[in-house]
Amino acid sequence: MSRPESGFVPLDPRRFSEAEMKERARAFYEEASRRRSVRDFSDKPVPRDLIETLIHTAGTAPSGAHKQPWTFCAVSDPAIKRAIREAAEKEEYDNYHGRMSPAWLEDLRPLATDWHKPFLETAPWLIVVFKRIWEPSPEGPAHKNYYVAESVGIASGLLIQAIHHAGLVTLTHTPSPMNFLQHILGRPDNERPFLLLPVGFPAEGALVPDLTRKPVGEILVWHEKDAASQPF
Ligand code: IYR
């Protein structure tokens, strides 16, 4: 493959034996499969530098044209958390009292969610993920970013996995609409809120819904030449 002579450096890949690869993949699956969305948080503090490392990891995500179109706000200020809770509960009250369809409410029933969002104050940190639609340019017109939802979605997935890996819990909270976050956090016009992640330790005795995940055979479709598809 031809590449320009400048602007490239050698890749430094890690190499494992096939057995090591399979073991690493299996262990990572085991770890990932333990992750649960948690709504009952402890107020036990989480060190600031730990949060910083988690966000550093999120920032390793690939992004369209490497524009890195994300900003992460880490909120521990109780006054700001309260303002976010009040605004989220106001929107969610309206969602649960008419804005969500009967089918949607029925689908949420096993999760036992409602408009009360105490975790927005209990959790020691709220990480608010913003997508950057465009980049301001001091001279000339603003530059539009590319594949912003894909890029920020991948960064958020990495962040969620990093949180889990560190032994903390989170919830992909989606108050809707959530433009209030832009105002409360004073974010500029090129940013839009994407996800709200309360982060902390689970409350003592926290419960989670008794869910199962789809078996891999249900989510995986093979397309191979000459190979009979192998049911798991
Ligand atoms: N955003 C609402 C409703 C809600 C939607 C989904 I999709 C969930 O998985 C859970 C809740 C709320 O946060 O309550």
Q: How confident is residue 155, by pLDDT bands cut at 50, 70 and 90?
A: very high
The closest residue, in CA terms, to atom 8 on ligand 1 is 108
The closest residue, in CA terms, to atom 9 on ligand 1 is 108
The Cβ-side half-sphere exposure at 48, using a 13 Å CA radius, reads 5
Specify the residue for token string 């009250």. 93
For ligand 1, whether the C-beta of 91 sits within 6 Å is no
What's residue 60's pLDDT? 98
What's residue 140's pLDDT? 85
Query: Is residue 89's pLDDT more than 70?
Result: yes
- 202 alpha carbon to ligand 1 midpoint, in Å? 19
What's residue 205's pLDDT? 97
Q: How confident is residue 5, by pLDDT bands cut at 50, 70 and 90?
A: confident
For ligand 1, whether the C-beta of 176 sits within 6 Å is yes
Query: Mean pLDDT lowest for which of 64-73, 115-124, 134-143?
Result: 134-143
Atom of ligand 1 lying closest to residue 175 CA: 1
Q: Centre a 10 Å sphere on the Cβ of residue 136 and count the other Cβ atoms it contains.
A: 11
| Mean pLDDT for all residues in the chain | 95
- 40 alpha carbon to ligand 1 midpoint, in Å? 15
Answer for the pair 99, 108: CB distance below 8 angstroms, yes or no. no
What's residue 91's pLDDT? 96
For ligand 1, whether the C-beta of 174 sits within 6 Å is yes
Rounded to 5 degrees, φ, ψ at 77 are: -60, 115
Listed residue (199, 194, 196) closest to 152, CA to CA: 194
Query: Is residue 118's pLDDT more than 90?
Result: yes
Q: How confident is residue 49, by pLDDT bands cut at 50, 70 and 90?
A: very high
- 173 alpha carbon to ligand 1 midpoint, in Å? 7
Q: How confident is residue 112, by pLDDT bands cut at 50, 70 and 90?
A: very high
- 12 alpha carbon to ligand 1 midpoint, in Å? 41
Tens digit of pLDDT for each residue in 70-87? 999 999 999 999 999 999
Amino acid in the structure at residue 214: K
For ligand 1, whether the C-beta of 85 sits within 6 Å is no
For ligand 1, whether the C-beta of 108 sits within 6 Å is yes
What's residue 224's pLDDT? 96
For ligand 1, whether the C-beta of 179 sits within 6 Å is no
Ligand 1 binding pocket mutation candidate from 39, 100, 174 (most atoms within 8 A of CB): 174
Tens digit of pLDDT for each residue in 171-202? 999 899 999 999 999 999 999 999 999 999 99
Residue 140 or residue 173, greater confidence: 173
For ligand 1, whether the C-beta of 172 sits within 6 Å is no
What's residue 1's pLDDT? 65
Question: What percentage of the chain carries pLDDT values higher than 90?
Answer: 92
Write down all domains in the chain, each with its CATH number in brackets: 37-202 (3.40.109.10)
Query: Is residue 206's pLDDT more than 60?
Result: yes
Q: Centre a 10 Å sphere on the Cβ of residue 87 and count the other Cβ atoms it contains.
A: 19
